[in-house]
Amino acid sequence: MKQLHKQSSIRRDEELPSSQKSPYSPKAFKPRSLPRSINYLFREQRLLFILVGVLIGSTFFILQPTLSRLGTADPSPTNRATIPRSYDQRRLDSAVYQSRSSAKLVGRVPVAIGRRRLRIVVTGGAGFVGSHLVDKIIDRGDEVIVIDNFFTGRKDNLVHQFSNPRFELIRHDVVEPILLEVDQIYHLACPASPVHYKYNPVKTIKTNVMGTLNMLGLAKRVGAKFLLTSTSEVYGDPLEHPQKETYWGNVNPIGERSCYDEGKRTAETLAMDYHRGAGVEVRIARIFNTYGPRMCLDDGRVVSNFVAQAIRKLPLTVYGDGKQTRSFQYVSDLVEGLVALMEGEHVGPFNLGNPGEFTMLELAEVVKETIDSSAAIEFRPNTADDPHKRKPDISKAKELLNWEPKVSLREGLPVMVSDFRNRILNEDEGKGL
């Protein structure tokens, strides 16, 4: 039977004409006259749906601004008259109208957005001048990071800021590097009184050199503005009177005070080298004698010495013949000058001081009048390298910074005396800590 079936199938194949035989192909042939993507678009009217979608989307984006203006338009005067509105609603309408009117002039600015809040570092911010500067910056609405190793600074100077969310305190020595993201750096870190900077002269000059290098490096990395608080001591025992910023000074490079004098001169050099070589935006202030509340009680500077001695019923110690002169500025005037310098466009250096000149004997008499007229004066041998005259020429600061001191010695001294009296009479004070 199998042989019969095979033979019949062979005969049927032979009987089919050759023209009717389908050629062998593993895959049926499909003509490709169009690319697959175009073929896909035309199949099942997909192109039509795409065109309709594009048309609807275009219509929406064209009409949307018009619809939004119509939806937020203020009601006409007739409508406002017919719709009863409360007092608060009328005030809100007026505020919205004023904001829109101003937006047409200055562009669309979100309401209640002022200048960007700055993050500012103050090295030595727990000290006398630094703490007053911190208060000024906080009061204007910026953030402050204080860096201090508390060698001469005191936490008591900043305790009133501890609960402020825009205040931060870091115990750190600027001789070691620190990484922060900030906009401005006020570099005040360094002992400023002879008693303190002579205590460890090597540490003093390291603070002036290495500390300034580290802070300038930080300013370079983050693009911050940098202000160096230098000193009138860079003029040494001056041969020019009053002293201008162009005067190069008369400093003993190997004397007892040179750790401070030459340290500050080197700090100015570093600041200018970073400015010229690395493009750091620097400011240099040369600070003259400053007084006010929060000074250390026994820091060896003449004003604090006289005030503390008079309150304690001790003789006022005058070194030398008492004819050497100083110029005394109140701390608030100095802070205003530092801020004006930082916010200005001029590098400096700038003298920041009060050109009012007093001899040591004249200062002693003013202190006696303010505290105790019966106080005695005691003369002692003068200290080494003590400048005989010191008076700033502040014409440059007047012209370029629009700054000059406003508080006289007789106005500012009673405020300092009140602060000293409260601290000296307190059981925990009187140690200069």
CATH code for the domain of 225: 3.40.50.720
Catalytic residues: 260
The identity of residue 317, as a single letter, is: T
Instruction: Tell whether 346 is covered by a domain.
Output: yes
C-beta separation of 208 from 266 below 8 A: yes
pLDDT digits (tens, 9 = 90+) for 211-264: 999 999 999 999 999 999 999 999 998 899 899 999 999 998 998 888 999 999
**Residue 353 has what pLDDT?**
94
C-beta separation of 148 from 126 below 8 A: yes
Instruction: Tell whether 31 is covered by a domain.
Output: no
- State which residues form the domain around 125: 119-291+328-355+388-406
The number of C-alpha atoms within 13 Å of 405 and in the hemisphere containing its C-beta is: 27
pLDDT digits (tens, 9 = 90+) for 77-128: 444 444 444 444 544 455 444 544 444 444 444 444 567 899 999 999 999 9
- Give the DSSP H or E segment for 148: strand 143-148
Average pLDDT of span 179-188: 96
416: how many CB neighbours lie within 10 A of its CB? 21
Measured distance CA(213)–CA(374) in Å, rounded? 49
Instruction: Tell whether 318 is covered by a domain.
Output: no
pLDDT digits (tens, 9 = 90+) for 339-396: 999 999 999 899 999 998 899 999 999 999 999 888 889 888 887 777 788 899 999 9
Q: Is 42 exposed, middle or buried (0-12, 13-18, 19+ CB in 10 A)?
A: exposed
DSSP 3-state of 325? strand
Instruction: Tell whether 169 is covered by a domain.
Output: yes
Instruction: Tell whether 366 is covered by a domain.
Output: no
If pLDDT is split at 50, 70 and 90, which confidence band does 54 have? confident
Instruction: Tell whether 43 is covered by a domain.
Output: no
Instruction: Tell whether 68 is covered by a domain.
Output: no
Measured distance CA(21)–CA(14) in Å, rounded? 11
- Give the DSSP H or E segment for 424: helix 409-425
pLDDT digits (tens, 9 = 90+) for 386-420: 778 889 999 999 999 999 999 999 999 999 999 99
Q: What's the chain's average pLDDT?
A: 82
Q: Tokens 């000024």 belong to which residue?
A: 136
Q: How many domains does the chain have?
A: 1
Is the C-alpha dihedral spanning 406, 409, 415, 416 positive or negative?
A: positive
Instruction: Tell whether 382 is covered by a domain.
Output: no
